[in-house]
Amino acid sequence: MYQILTDSCCDVPYELLEENNVDFISMYVSIDGTEFADDLGRSFKIDDFYQKIKDGAMPTTSQVNVGRYVEFFRSYAEKNVPILYICFSSGMSGSYQSAMQAVEILKEDLPDAEVYVVDSLAASGGEGLMVYEAAKKQQAGMTINDLYQWLEDNKLTYHHWVTVDDLNHLQRGGRISKTSAAIGGLMNIKPIITVDVEGKLQNVEKVRGRKKALQLVADKIADATTDPVNQTIFITTSADQVGAEEVKRHLEESIHPKEIRIFPLGTTIASHTGLGCIAVFTRGEKRD
């Protein structure tokens, strides 16, 4: 038996990972002078975190360093358990590079350690959906070698479509200019964001009004989903359950997917999006 690992940027509840025998390593978040591990809700209430952002707090995040990765991997390697780690996109973080350095260090002590690292080129529920489907394939009997190759061959089939409501939060975090935030706010502009083949965020469209943004995100996901009757779709949101349910309804009416699951956006990703982010994830043809 081998162990699937991931990190807290997968944005699925820790209970779902436990149910599927997946372990994870936490990013760290600082808010109001306090640093805590993003442990996917195991030790904190996500609504309390959202409230702090609503009250004006600007959280910051830190990636997993090499030393923490070494210890994380070592806990399995010392027991001769092969590891398959599905990592947050290298296009958004240096975590993948740190993980690869950690494998080199680990193998200096444990040269026979079997460690596979997959750069997911995904984030939030896109990474989470990949982890979830990988766990199902493991449970169906797929070997670690075959699963690693399947993930490498198919990771670009995971599609991300996102809209963000809080332009002022993006401005305070330095992601858009103050002028852009002010004009966008006055004109009720909502960005439509995707993840490209390098695992980087790309702002591809702007629409006026939240309702249009949610409809467009749903349409993009519907177009991307090639086999809806067999497809589970994940939605993550930072404190807009009503909007997430609206997107879910659009998708249920248009393509009738096998299943749609809604989860809170995790503290690491929400630190960068602010409140009102809705992100939707599916599988289809390779993204281009």
Structural domains of the chain ordered from first start: 3-155 (3.40.50.10170), 158-283 (3.30.1180.10)
pLDDT band at residue 104 under the 50/70/90 scheme: very high
Query: DSSP labels for 255-274?
Result: T--SEEEEEEPPHHHHHHH-
Q: Say yes or no to pLDDT of 242 above 90.
A: yes
Q: What is the mean pLDDT of the chain?
A: 94
Summarize pLDDT for 40-90 with one digit per residue, the tens. 999 999 999 999 999 999 999 999 999 999 999 999 999 999 999 999 999
- Token pair for residue 106? 């680990």
Q: Say yes or no to pLDDT of 184 above 90.
A: no
Say what the pLDDT of residue 113 is.
98
Spatial contact of 282 and 225, defined as CB atoms under 8 Å apart? yes
Residue 185, classed as helix, strand or coil, is: helix
- Token pair for residue 127? 């990474």
Say what the pLDDT of residue 168 is.
74
b/e for 14-23, b at 16 or more Cβ within 10 A?
bebbeebebb
Tokens 């992601």, located at residue: 175
pTM: 0.96
Say what the pLDDT of residue 174 is.
64
Summarize pLDDT for 185-234 with one digit per residue, the tens. 667 889 999 999 999 999 899 999 999 999 999 999 999 999 999 999 99
Q: What average pLDDT does range 266-273 have in this prediction?
A: 95
Distance of alpha carbon 19 from alpha carbon 41, whole angstroms: 15
| Helices (H), ranges, 155-238 | 167-172, 178-186, 210-224
C-alpha distances (whole Å) from 72 to each of 43, 66, 165, 264 are: 19, 10, 36, 25
Say what the pLDDT of residue 172 is.
67
E-state strands within the chain: 3-7, 22-25, 28-31, 34-37, 60-62, 83-87, 115-119, 158-163, 189-195, 201-208, 232-237, 259-264, 278-283
Q: Say yes or no to pLDDT of 103 above 90.
A: yes
Say what the pLDDT of residue 183 is.
65
Spatial contact of 35 and 271, defined as CB atoms under 8 Å apart? no
Distance of alpha carbon 12 from alpha carbon 28, whole angstroms: 16
C-alpha distances (whole Å) from 90 to each of 8, 25, 162 are: 15, 16, 19
Spatial contact of 83 and 2, defined as CB atoms under 8 Å apart? yes
Among candidate residues 15, 63, 58, 19, the one with its CA nearest the CA of residue 37: 63
Say what the pLDDT of residue 169 is.
73
Distant-in-sequence, close-in-space partners of 2: CB < 8 Å, separation ≥ 6: 81, 82, 83, 84, 114, 138, 144
- Token pair for residue 66? 């090499």
Looking at the DSSP bridge assignments, the partners of residue 211 are none
